[in-house]
Structure 1
Amino acid sequence: MEAPATAYCFRPCQLDAPFQCLVTNKPRGSSGKFSGQLAHRRPRVMGFRELASHRFPPPKRRRQRGQSLSKAMMRPMGEIMIMVESLGEEYRVTFEVSEDVEYDINGNPTLTCNDLHLHWGMHREWLDEWMCLPDLPRGSKYNDDDPCKPATRTPLVRDGEGCSIVFRNGFPLRMSRTKFDVPAYFAPVEIDFALVEIEFGTDRVLAYDGPKGPDQWPSASFAVPIGMEKGHPEPLGASRAAPISNGPGYVNFALHSGCADKVTLFLQWCTGDGATPNTMEIALNPTVHRTGDVWHVALPVGIPGSILPLPASSASWEGGADPRINCPTVLYGYKCDGDPARGGWRFHPGMVMFDPRATCLLTPLGAFQDPFTRLPKFLGSLADVMNGGTQYQLAYDPGPNEKAVAGVRKLRQIPAQEIIYELSVADFTNHISADLGNVERGTYAGVLAKVDHIIQSGATTVLLQPIAASARRAIDDNWGAAPVSLFAPDPEMTTPHGGDGSYQVRQLVRGLQARGLDVLVHVVLTHLGEGTDASPESHSIRGIDAFSYYEMNSMGKVKSNPSVPGTAVLNLRSHVTRELIIDSLRHWRTGFGVDGFLVDTTEGITNLTGIAALLEAIALDAVLSGKTDSGGVSAAVEVARGNSTNKFLAGGGVRLYITPNDREVGQIQTWGILGERNSLFLRDISKFMEGSNGALRDFASRVCGSADLIKDCRSSSFGHVINSLTLSPHGKTLADTASDLAARAKVETTTGISHPRGLGEDVLGPSDFMKSRAPLRAMPPVPPTAVETNLMMRSLLTILFSADGIPLISAGDEYGHTRLGEGGAPNSWKSEINSFRWDALKCGTAGHAVHSFISALSAFRRRRADLFSSGGANVHWTVMDGYTSPKWDEYTAPCLLMCHRKAHSPHDRTGIKAADTTVPSQDAIIVFNGTRDLQSAEIGHPPDEFAWVRVVDTSLAFPSDCTLSYVELAGTKGSYLVSPHAVAIFELAPAPEGYLNPKDSQFVR
């Protein structure tokens, strides 16, 4: 594959001399010297076909001396045509300059005899230092009179000894030409040039003609790429410049940097033969390689004669201590420099920044040849760019029919069946008890090796905590809260010989989906971990274009996120930033195939300036806003009948959840695709279970999916509400939360009188203030026993799984992982405190009992999805007598509630409600006891031919606490005793053969 010949056309401006060569339409003066220069707008590159059919804009009408305006002549603009042709061992460069011909008042052409020369040189690394050929072209001289641009001067030879006039498109032109050869081993290189007019018979320079604009000659010049192309400003990042799925070709590099005056593309590669890695720098001439604020260039990769080899695929990469010498690898980055007065002090010409849109990041292959260039943390890789293609485009669901043929069946058919399992890749298999090799522990491959445990826990969806690349991951950013990239996964969690990070994440997502699991990913879209202006840690955007991407305060400093030290806040109002974020979400969807995202925010949603515009842009995006059929109640009935199929998930949309703070739940703009992680759920059910006064109303709302706050199409029935018992990764674990709650629920005073407490508050009666002595002082919370903590933990889990909304459990909740009372999770890399303890799940342990309990709750949730598909519309609340409505407004009402969940009425095949409405439906009753006393719940005896099945009773010992069993209720009203701080679930089911209904017995107990 050889590079084709390329033609370049530089459009001239009007000049004072008859020679008119360059770009703008500024009017001429009359001094006889050059007054026009090349315009600041970029020259246009045209191919042969375009040149042949190109029509120039109509020339300006201008008046000659002594001529009236009505007789003014129409004058064309001159131009420079440059053609670069590959001849194998060399490149032939041909310059053709056309000069407008002027006529005097008598109609005779006025031709100057001054000489035109091409003042040129070549550059690669430095724009300010030109190289020359070893053998100068015929007639050329090396000129070093100008200390700014010592260069080669090649004369332009005019046709017919300078007096020949040709007509092009009806206009008279005088042509001059030159050509020379550049050896192929110089490529990639650029020929920088300007045109110079020299007085005839002398060497006196009359004028230079170069670019016009902020950067004029001699600081700027025209450029002609040799062995590379000018590139295109879109798309940003590294992409193939031709529609070829894989193999050799051109790579287009495009970088947005509005305040950079100089941009250099930095390349490092190895050929795979064991040689020392090579490096190369290509300084981009803004005349050719800049369009607006975007710098761009296209380089050949893998083409015979090109320097850069074709990189091996992502699966072939081998890391570890051994450098990548066994397979070709090509890495790239950028150096930027600019005016310190315009924010350029954040640039550093000795630092290499990785591309903000690099989809795969790797550590450098080795030390650089330039000792003044600092070794960066990451560089972008071209492996996916050159070897990617349609095989990685996983954005669109192929549909239920194709999935059925392929044997892939989702574990979740409707939202009410969904159960999310949240995990940290580094901590999930980091502990030695994971029984994995040292290579796989704490990696993407390690998670895939434990997928059976995830499914056994009842999960239908896996939520990965942030896996975007973080420069501080192995130091103090275990949770990935301060990423430096929005596109690339973190290479710290890869196996040494399993491919690069992109490949291993792709394998993880595909492996989980092959087992029927959906995959969601935590993403941070509000800040990046590139330090502050006082303590910068430039890796990418900070050293490329901080003003376009980051928020600035009134002092011109980058704003920092106080909740995450060492981070810079992204400017969500900037179109460039929003485009970066949306493209990153698209890439995670199309390049990795994830099913959705949970956006992590540390300061809430409404406090983020520009978040509304970002959410609107996401909602309107063609890839991210595709609709997914959520099914609903009718779908839940079909699932209950055993007719579940993947037809309810046939859409191609992406699920997106956000994390508002307590005051913002339900208050975000009602974009149809947005869901919420309900931060009020844990707070309000904790108040109820510890017996706090006034907790009934909020508790009932949370169990009904927060229907009082989150309504309409964003309600829990559409799968847009996530409930969780932890605030992972930064909060306490479930076991530690249950322990604190159990301690607060049994506070004793100094006199032994029991007083229920709220969140750290003593409840004192009115008589306490009437006594002459000081009120009784409450003792500190008594540490709960293991049994009490276990009871509270199982009660919290039961409430979670019996509430409308999607239950979320964090890795470790299934065995009661504890951080030994730590207030928060340590952020150190692979901490022992955070590691998942697989030995705690062994048979006979307390962890195994909790795991079995969660599995039973998951099975009930998936089996009876019809009970949780109405967003709380099928719920009826009573007190313990089974028919009296609770006193919602009574502050001192005890924390006792019965929840009656009505099953969906049976339908015939036509969807019309059955005529016989007297047939009992399989309802469920859930009893919540948040007091310290044993309570009698009057559930009532079952209808004829039905029986009550106890699904869960958290007060019983394992395995009775989660074993399905028929129960006979006592008394005429069908009573059941519920222990303090316990929860019990009863389900109405067809009676077994020979079952005697207690209400028909002669002796009702």
Structure 2
Amino acid sequence: MVLHTKRGRAIAIAVSKTPRETFAVTATLERDGTRATTPTRESLAALKMHFGLTRESVREWMCLEDLPEGAVYDEKTEATRIGFDAETRSATVEVPEYAAPASLDFVLYDERTRTYDEPSGGWGGSAFSVPIGIGCGHARELGASVLTRDEAAGSGEFNVAVLSRHATACTLVLQYGENTLELALNSISHRTGNVWHVSVPFGGPSDVLHAPTREDDVTYGFRFEGDPEGRAGSRFFPAQVLFDPRALEVVRPLNEMDEPTPTPRYMGSLAAVLERRAVGDANLAPAASDAQAIALNVDLASLTAEGTLQAAAAELQRLRSTMHFTAVALAPIQTRSADGDANAPVSFFAIDPKFGTRADLRAFVATMKSIGVDVWMRFVLTQTGEGTDASPRSESLRGIDAATYFQLGSSGGLDSAGVPMTTALNPCSAPTISLLVDALRTFTLYDGVSSFIIETGGGIVRGPLGRSPLLETLAYDAVIGNAPKKLYLTPSADECGAMPSWGVIGEINAKYSQGVENFFRGAPGMLNEMALRLGGSPDIFRSNRDARYGLNNFLRPAPSCSIPPTCAIPKTTTADPTETSDPIARAELAALFTSTGGILINVHALNPTLQPLASQLSQFRASRIDLFTDEFAFDGVRWIDPFTGAAPSFDDVSAAPCLTCLRRDLTGRNRDVWIAYNGSIAAFSTNLPSPSPGFRWIRRFDTSLAASDAAEPTPLVAQSYSVAPASVSVCELVELAKA
């Protein structure tokens, strides 16, 4: 590489390994800027290379125990000086192997004028820096990545890069075995724009680091320095070690830090970086369409006693043998704050260690795909749990560059989010958008995750004209969005009706659960609301019809009598479900499985008494999925007043919660489905539509009947049907021979 000084000199640098187990750093003066010509003997005689070694701090120069031949030690500056050879115009410094890794920092000193010639474009007092035993690295990929690797030899090189616009100094902290190594990064050789970067070799005979493994890991983190007054939103605390915001996995530090440095909760794992591999094309198949989606919302912490991905895989395999579902939506599993709040993540790349590793996630995805189930992830993207200005607890982003990543108030303070001890991210900041988009991409490309549910948190709509640049980037990303049925949004109250979807983003309809519950609890005037919910009407996108798909959100706390957390889904139950379960809960479940759009339901809602009904409903829906797609919703659904047979009075605020609908089979097979919903306290009798010639009605299920009576489809003798209170009845047209 060629370095340039402020006075116009050009210096070529070469680093080589000598047979004497030393690093030879050779500086050759190619141009004398004072004359813009090749240096003369006179100018070379007065020019010296003024140098020292740095490691933990760029401000503290160390000198070699054995000075190179011809070098002198300057006590005043505590540095070493060596002259240039008149014939070769070069100066060579040999650094013993034991002194690496380090950096050889130098400037040029002119004895005639007694002046220093510093790097061009550098700050006052800065020096050139030549890495020894490490490399400059690059800024092309943020986070830790494998730069080179020789698997046969077990050696290679890591590149580590982190973005911090406002930091004035950065130190890489490494732990291996019982050792802690700190490498201060010189801004001349280890900074490109706003990115600090370095490459670290491993596994070689002269390398400090070994090839990390799960059993013998190497962990890494950073220290940052900046404005100590906190101006312009900075929050730097140099004594603190922070983990990489793009660390694929975080683990406990291998060793305690020396005082006054507090030992961090987590550091990044380099073993996880070596394990990273792109998944095969089979695992990148498009997710199932929203109408086909029966997604179970799974909280790993409470699904099993172990609370891990491995234990969850076994439990969900067992459930899949009894119930049809197409997806598992994992409740937020990103690394959480010290409080353990799922809505207060401290990392968007790393999953919380208590759930497992990224390797465990890949195995979980592979297991689910082997039984025909996609894996989705729910993400909180609007805040981090690194405390507030009043109670800071920086672990990563907040201490790396708060002003770049977080939302600043008018006074320069960080805006707190709605969750205690959280700070709001800035969804309009380009580095923030890049961080979040890349996080989701890694889970798809390297772990095989099919879809994502974005928890908005109320702040994601920030942007010009109400258009969120973060959501727009996600929607058009070739991996995360770019095609329907892969990206969903959970709206908050202040975002309804004004959010563009770019024809890509689906909706988790937050109004669904409450509207259906009000209907079955007997609230009058609910016909219009119930029809909207059953018809899959959008909420957040209701004024933007470029995306009409979504999931009906049925995420509610499980009743106290449901499932103990040590065994989320019981294996057997002997009681009659209709005698032990809440009839309203059974009716709501049936309404969910007979609604247009996909289904998102808590796995805890499938308590012992509801699981048989859920299995029956899921099988029915899978067999008649054509009736519940958006394409059929407008032409194929006819709402009927059960008492008059005419259209319901949707505007009647006193109308009883009684509603029937006919879902027409538009495939030409005449297999219509008639559904009655009774939310009143009294039964009602209603007539079914006249069947087509050669067909008759059969009852598929009735939530008011005992399980034994509802197990098999039953032909109807009469044309009328009595619908019990707080129940749902479903009848289907079939050919006479099959009936």
Q: TM-score, normalised by structure 1?
A: 0.68
Alignment partner of 1:237 out of 143, 159, 163: 143
Q: Is the 8 A contact 1:605 1:661 kept in 2?
A: no
Establish whether residue 805 from structure 1 lines up as the match of residue 597 from structure 2.
yes
Q: 1:695 to 1:604 in 2, by over 3 A?
A: farther
Q: Is the 8 A contact 2:670 2:692 kept in 1?
A: no
Establish whether residue 454 from structure 1 lines up as the match of residue 316 from structure 2.
no
Higher strand share: 2
Secondary structure of 1:685's aligned partner? helix
- Superposed CA RMSD: 2.7
Establish whether residue 586 from structure 1 lines up as the match of residue 441 from structure 2.
yes
Establish whether residue 351 from structure 1 lines up as the match of residue 111 from structure 2.
no
Rounded to whole Å, the distance in 2 between the matches of 1:858 and 1:534 is 50
Q: Deviations over 1:755-800 (max 9, x none)?
A: xxxxxxxxxxxxxxxxxxxxxxxxxxxxxx9959611000101111
Deviation at 1:724, TM superposition (A): 2.4
Rounded to whole Å, the distance in 2 between the matches of 1:813 and 1:399 is 29
Which has the higher mean CA deviation after the structures are superposed, 222-231 or 336-345?
Answer: 336-345
Deviation at 1:690, TM superposition (A): 2.5
Query: Which residue of 2 is the match for residue 1003 of structure 1?
Result: none
Alignment partner of 1:528 out of 384, 406, 415: 384
Secondary structure of 1:309's aligned partner? coil
Query: Which residue of 2 is the match for residue 185 of structure 1?
Result: 98
Query: Which residue of 1 is the match for residue 707 of structure 2?
Result: 958
Query: Which residue of 1 is the match for residue 584 of structure 2?
Result: 792
Deviation at 1:141, TM superposition (A): 1.1
Rounded to whole Å, the distance in 2 between the matches of 1:343 and 1:549 is 12
Establish whether residue 566 from structure 1 lines up as the match of residue 326 from structure 2.
no
Rounded to whole Å, the distance in 1 between the matches of 2:546 and 2:151 is 40
Deviation at 1:601, TM superposition (A): 2.4
Secondary structure of 1:714's aligned partner? coil
Q: Is the 8 A contact 2:472 2:502 kept in 1?
A: yes
Query: Which residue of 1 is the match for residue 547 of structure 2?
Result: 714
Q: Is the 8 A contact 1:707 1:872 kept in 2?
A: no
Q: Deviations over 1:111-162 (max 9, x none)?
A: 658611111100111111111111111221111213xxx1011122323xxx
Rounded to whole Å, the distance in 2 between the matches of 1:605 and 1:935 is 46
Q: Is the 8 A contact 2:536 2:550 kept in 1?
A: yes
What amino acid is aligned across from residue 981 of structure 1 in structure 2? A
Deviation at 1:452, TM superposition (A): 2.7
Please give the residue correspondences for 1:882-893 in structure 2 after superposition, counting only pairs within 5 Å.
883-893=645-655
Q: 1:518 to 1:710 in 2, by over 3 A?
A: farther
Q: 1:692 to 1:451 in 2, by over 3 A?
A: closer
Secondary structure of 2:389's aligned partner? coil
Which has the higher mean CA deviation after the structures are superposed, 283-292 or 658-667?
Answer: 658-667
Q: 1:545 to 1:153 in 2, by over 3 A?
A: same
Alignment partner of 2:521 out of 690, 697, 715: 690
Secondary structure of 2:89's aligned partner? strand
Alignment partner of 2:158 out of 225, 229, 251: 251
Deviation at 1:584, TM superposition (A): 0.4
Q: Once the two structures are aligned, what percentage of the paired residues are identical? A: 34
Deviation at 1:214, TM superposition (A): 6.8
Q: Deviations over 1:218-254 (max 9, x none)?
A: xx21111111111111111111223878942111111
Q: Is the 8 A contact 1:311 1:382 kept in 2?
A: yes
What amino acid is aligned across from residue 468 of structure 1 in structure 2? Q
Q: 1:112 to 1:594 in 2, by over 3 A?
A: closer
Rounded to whole Å, the distance in 2 between the matches of 1:983 and 1:491 is 44
Establish whether residue 982 from structure 1 lines up as the match of residue 731 from structure 2.
no
Please give the residue correspondences for 1:756-905 in structure 2 after superposition, counting only pairs within 5 Å.
790-815=582-607, 847=608, 849-869=609-629, 870-881=632-643, 883-905=645-667
What amino acid is aligned across from residue 339 of structure 1 in structure 2? D
Alignment partner of 1:724 out of 553, 565, 576: 553
Q: Is the 8 A contact 1:690 1:931 kept in 2?
A: yes
Query: Which residue of 2 is the match for residue 393 of structure 1?
Result: 279
Deviation at 1:813, TM superposition (A): 0.9
Matched residue count: 713
Rounded to whole Å, the distance in 2 between the matches of 1:190 and 1:110 is 29
Q: Is the 8 A contact 2:428 2:463 kept in 1?
A: no
Q: 1:612 to 1:333 in 2, by over 3 A?
A: same
Deviation at 1:328, TM superposition (A): 2.6
Deviation at 1:493, TM superposition (A): 2.0
Q: 1:121 to 1:419 in 2, by over 3 A?
A: same
Alignment partner of 2:175 out of 268, 279, 289: 268
Query: Which residue of 1 is the match for residue 344 of structure 2?
Result: 482
Query: Which residue of 2 is the match for residue 700 of structure 1?
Result: 531
Rounded to whole Å, the distance in 2 between the matches of 1:142 and 1:664 is 68
What amino acid is aligned across from residue 714 of structure 2 in structure 1? S
Establish whether residue 468 from structure 1 lines up as the match of residue 343 from structure 2.
no
Rounded to whole Å, the distance in 2 between the matches of 1:381 and 1:926 is 55
Q: Is the 8 A contact 1:102 1:110 kept in 2?
A: no
Establish whether residue 87 from structure 1 lines up as the match of residue 18 from structure 2.
yes
Q: Deviations over 1:464-484 (max 9, x none)?
A: 000111132xx442xx11110
Secondary structure of 1:798's aligned partner? helix
Alignment partner of 2:3 out of 7, 10, 28: 10
Deviation at 1:604, TM superposition (A): 6.6
Q: Deviations over 1:710-736 (max 9, x none)?
A: 775522xxxx31112334xxxx33689
Establish whether residue 927 from structure 1 lines up as the match of residue 719 from structure 2.
no
Query: Which residue of 2 is the match for residue 417 of structure 1?
Result: 292
What amino acid is aligned across from residue 417 of structure 1 in structure 2? Q
Establish whether residue 540 from structure 1 lines up as the match of residue 396 from structure 2.
yes
Q: Is the 8 A contact 1:121 1:152 kept in 2?
A: yes
Q: 1:101 to 1:871 in 2, by over 3 A?
A: closer
What amino acid is aligned across from residue 97 of structure 1 in structure 2? L
Q: Is the 8 A contact 1:619 1:671 kept in 2?
A: yes
Alignment partner of 1:131 out of 37, 62, 74: 62
Rounded to whole Å, the distance in 1 between the matches of 2:42 and 2:340 is 74
Rounded to whole Å, the distance in 2 between the matches of 1:663 and 1:258 is 33
Establish whether residue 733 from structure 1 lines up as the match of residue 551 from structure 2.
no
Secondary structure of 1:536's aligned partner? coil
Secondary structure of 2:148's aligned partner? coil
Q: Is the 8 A contact 2:143 2:244 kept in 1?
A: yes
Which blocks of at least 5 consecutive residues in structure 1 are unaligned?
1-7, 15-19, 22-78, 160-174, 200-204, 271-276, 318-326, 401-409, 431-440, 495-500, 629-653, 738-784, 816-846, 907-919, 996-1005
Deviation at 1:195, TM superposition (A): 0.8
Q: Deviations over 1:858-893 (max 9, x none)?
A: 000000112112234300111115731112222222
Q: 1:463 to 1:710 in 2, by over 3 A?
A: farther
Secondary structure of 1:255's aligned partner? strand
Rounded to whole Å, the distance in 2 between the matches of 1:384 and 1:336 is 24
Q: 1:547 to 1:990 in 2, by over 3 A?
A: same
Q: 1:663 to 1:224 in 2, by over 3 A?
A: closer
Q: Deviations over 1:476-509 (max 9, x none)?
A: 42xx111100001110123xxxxxx111111111
Which blocks of at least 5 consecutive residues in structure 2 are unaligned?
563-576
What amino acid is aligned across from residue 406 of structure 2 in structure 1? Y
What amino acid is aligned across from residue 212 of structure 2 in structure 1? P
Q: Deviations over 1:947-1001 (max 9, x none)?
A: 22111211222232454222212xxxx21111122211101112247x7xxxxxx
Query: Which residue of 1 is the match for residue 361 of structure 2?
Result: 505
Please give the residue correspondences for 1:168-317 in structure 2 after superposition, counting only pairs within 5 Å.
176-199=89-112, 206-211=114-119, 215-217=123-125, 220-242=126-148, 247-270=154-177, 277-312=178-213, 317=214
Q: Is the 8 A contact 2:317 2:368 kept in 1?
A: no
Deviation at 1:533, TM superposition (A): 0.9
Which has the higher mean CA deviation after the structures are superposed, 378-387 or 576-585?
Answer: 378-387
Q: Is the 8 A contact 1:804 1:872 kept in 2?
A: no
Secondary structure of 1:677's aligned partner? strand
Deviation at 1:263, TM superposition (A): 0.5
What amino acid is aligned across from residue 905 of structure 1 in structure 2? T
Secondary structure of 1:949's aligned partner? strand
Rounded to whole Å, the distance in 1 between the matches of 2:693 and 2:679 is 32
Q: Is the 8 A contact 1:929 1:983 kept in 2?
A: yes
**Structure with larger Rg:** 1
Q: Is the 8 A contact 1:196 1:206 kept in 2?
A: yes
Q: 1:386 to 1:905 in 2, by over 3 A?
A: closer
Deviation at 1:355, TM superposition (A): 0.4
